[in-house]
Amino acid sequence: MTRSLRTATTATMLLAGLGLAHAAHAQSGSTKGLFAGIQYSGTSVSVRSAAQDLEFGNGFGLHAGLGLSDNVSVLVNFDRSVLTGSDNAQDVKLTQYDALLRFNVLPGAGSPVRLFVTAGATGRTANAGRDFDGIVPTGGAGVHLYVTPKFALNGTALWTFGNLTRASQLSNRTDETFRSTATRVQAGVSLYLFSR
C-alpha cells in the first residue's frame, strides 16, 4: 500500500470517527427513496504480470440511487481518477462505472449512523495512450452518517477484481489481458430528495 493511500485511508477513518462523535447530536433519516451525491475518490491499481503498478491517484465521482427500504438500496456510481506509474511514466486516466446493491447492517433504521456492505459490478476503462477496459466484480463496506434527515456524509472502501483487456487495433480480438485489483477510498455527501 502506498503512502498516499495510507494517508487517504487515515483521513477517511478520521472523518468516520468525527462522524461517530457527532452522531449523538445528529438526526436519523430514512434511506428510502431517491438520493444523489458527489464524492472524492482516491484509487490505486495493482496489476499482476505488468511492468509496474499504478500509484495512488485522486479524482471525483457522482452517485445516484434508490432506497428500496431502510436496509436495501440500489446505487449507480461514477468515478474518474488520474494515476501515475511507479516510475513516473505517463498518467493514466481511470474511469469506473458501478452498479451496486447496498445493505445497511448496523445499527438500525432509528440511528443516524449506518454501517453498510455493498457489492455489484464495475465497468472500467484505463487510458494511457491505448485503451484498456473490462467489466468485473466489486465489493466493499462503509459508513453513512445523517447530519439532517435529508443530508448524509459517506465514507466507503471498494475493491474491484478482474481483468483489464486491450483490444487489438486491427480487429476485435483481445491483444493483452492483465489481472488487476483496484482499491478505492471515497468520502462524499448524499442528498435524500424526498425524505421526511
Tell me the C-alpha distance between 167 and 118, whole Å. 30
Quick one: cell of 10? 487515515
Contacts of 45 by beta carbon, 8 Å cutoff, 6+ apart: 53, 54, 83, 94, 126, 180, 181, 182, 183
- In this prediction, residue 112 carries a pLDDT of 87
Tell me the C-alpha distance between 8 and 14, whole Å. 10
For β-strands 113-127 and 54-67, DSSP reports them as unpaired
Tell me the C-alpha distance between 10 and 20, whole Å. 15
pLDDT tens, the chain, 196 aa long: 455 555 555 555 545 554 444 444 445 667 788 999 999 999 888 776 555 566 678 999 999 999 998 889 999 999 999 887 666 567 788 889 999 999 999 877 678 899 999 999 999 887 765 577 788 999 999 998 999 989 999 999 999 988 777 654 444 555 667 777 888 999 999 999 876 5
Tell me the C-alpha distance between 77 and 99, whole Å. 7
Q: What is the largest CA-CA distance in the chain?
A: 61
Q: What is the pTM of this model?
A: 0.76
3-state secondary structure of 56: strand
Q: Tell me, what DSSP letter sits at residue 168?
A: -
What is the DSSP track for 91-158? -EEEEEEEEEEEEEEES-TTSSEEEEEEEEEEEEEEESSSEEEEEEEEEEEEEEEEEETTEEEEEEEE
Quick one: cell of 48? 499482476
Tell me the C-alpha distance between 113 and 116, whole Å. 10
Tell me the C-alpha distance between 72 and 75, whole Å. 10
